[in-house]
Chains A and B, each alone.
Chain A
Amino acid sequence: MVVKIKRITFIILNTGFKKYNQALVKVYDTCNNLIYHEETYNGRLDLLLKEKDVYKVEIIKNNSIIKSSIYVVKDKYIFSFSRTITFLLRDANYYNLPIKKGEIILWQK
């Protein structure tokens, strides 16, 4: 069986410039062997992985971690760290009157 190696790029959003404030990327195969253990540069990392194979990915930056799995078919995989977002909810008819209690629900499209 011919194994095709594919060159892919990881793009990690919310990282710094060049080598500053970058993320550490770890890639494991399905047997949990560590295949890659490298830092991004400008938020990017190029890798050579087996096409149509599954890998586990860990991306670590400061105290945050993204854990994901990829199936190698695309050229580019984009990852984004979450951050704290503040939501303000006011009464539409009484300018700036804060809503005492309730919930806003956000659904990813």
Chain B
Amino acid sequence: MAKIINIIDGTGTGELINDTYTVTASVPGYENSSINPSSVSIVEGTNSYSFSISATGTLTLHVTEDGTSTGTPVVGATFFRTDSTGTEYGTAITTDTNGDAVFDNVPFDQTNAPVIYFKQTASDGDHEFDSTVQNTTMTTSTSTIEIQNPVGATRTITLTDSNYDNLPISSGSLTLTN
């Protein structure tokens, strides 16, 4: 006899007696055979059981100054996988010399792919970036998204003498550290 537990946002419940069960999964975008554990003993006194499941897709984030595949790569931009609210999961990925950062083991499905959320948390210090939560779905096992990190806007800095209103300082330097 089979008992189906519907999972929504990571949680599901069911009425079960104490016994040992074989476990299978049906999770769109994920490798169902990777459900772990594949057997569970429901025992007296324990009413919560945890499982995990893996995906096999690869999502590449390609970061350039103009957001195109041929643009100047931005090295050192960091990203996290998140949920829809922006909570971070896993370790950060960072763009390499090609401007590529890779999320391994992400879900994909031709017709019913789950949404993948991510956000950028830093660039290289010389480029602007969008820190809001982004999302995508993958219909094939590999996918590349182009992301723009434009060069920081040109700003005009003026330095004047504090005791002679508007008298410009003829030479010198200012150092701004972020």
Q: Is the interface of B mostly helix, strand, loop or mixed?
A: strand
**Min distance, Cβ A37 to any Cβ of chain B, angstroms:** 24
Within 8 A of B (CB), among A65-97: 80-97
Rounded to whole angstroms, the CA-CA distance of A25 and B95 in the bound complex is 68
Decide: B5 and A104 in contact? CB cutoff 8 A.
yes
Most A CB atoms within 10 A — which of B5, B10, B26? B10
Q: How far is the CA of A90 from the CA of B54 in the complex (A)?
A: 9
B 112-140 binary contact with A (CB < 8 Å = 1; else 0): 00110000000000000000000000000
Size bracket, chain B contacts: 35 or more
Q: Which residues of B contact A105 (CB under 8 A)?
A: 2-5, 23-26
A89–B83 alpha-carbon span in the complex (Å): 15
Select from chain A the residue with minimum beta-carbon distance to B6.
Answer: A103
The stretch among B42-50, B61-69, B157-165, B166-174 that forms the contact with chain A is B42-50
Which residues of chain A have C-beta atoms less than 8 A from B55's C-beta?
91, 93
Interface residues on chain A, number (Cβ under 8 Å): 32
CA distance A108 to B40 in the complex (A): 10
Q: Tell me whether A85 and B53 are in contact in the complex, defined as CB-CB below 8 angstroms, given that A102-B27, A105-B23 are known contacts.
A: no
Whole-angstrom distance between the Cβ of A12 and the nearest chain B Cβ:
12
Q: How far apart sit A54 and B4, CA to CA, in the bound complex (Å)? A: 32
| Residues on A with beta carbons closer than 8 Å to the beta carbon of B42 | 85
User: What is the CB-to-nearest-CB distance from A91 to chain B, in angstroms, rounded to a whole number?
Assistant: 7
**B154 contacts the other chain (CB 8 A):** no
- Asked if B15 and A84 make an inter-chain contact with CB atoms under 8 angstroms apart, the answer reads yes
Q: Number of contacts between A and B (CB, 8 Å)?
A: 169
**A89 and B12 contacting across the interface, CB-CB below 8 Å:** yes
- Selected from B1, B14, B90, the residue in CB contact (under 8 A) with A108 is B1
Q: A90-B50, A92-B53, A97-B83 are in contact. Are A102 and B89 (CB under 8 A)?
A: no
Is A103 in contact with B5, judged by CB distance below 8 angstroms? yes
- Please give, as numbers and ranges, the residues of chain A lying within 8 Å of B20 by CB-CB distance: 109
Q: A90-B10, A90-B51, A96-B89 in contact; A104/B15 too (CB < 8 A)?
A: no
Residues of A within 8 A of B2 (CB): 105-108
* A108 and B21 form a contact (CB under 8 A): yes
- Smallest CB–CB gap between A101 and chain B, Å? 6
Which B positions have Cβ atoms within 8 angstroms of A? 1-28, 30, 34-36, 40, 42, 44, 47-55, 81, 83, 89-90, 104-105, 114-115
Interface CB pairs A-B, < 8 A, 11: A13-B18, A13-B44, A83-B17, A85-B48, A85-B49, A87-B7, A89-B10, A93-B105, A99-B30, A105-B25, A108-B21
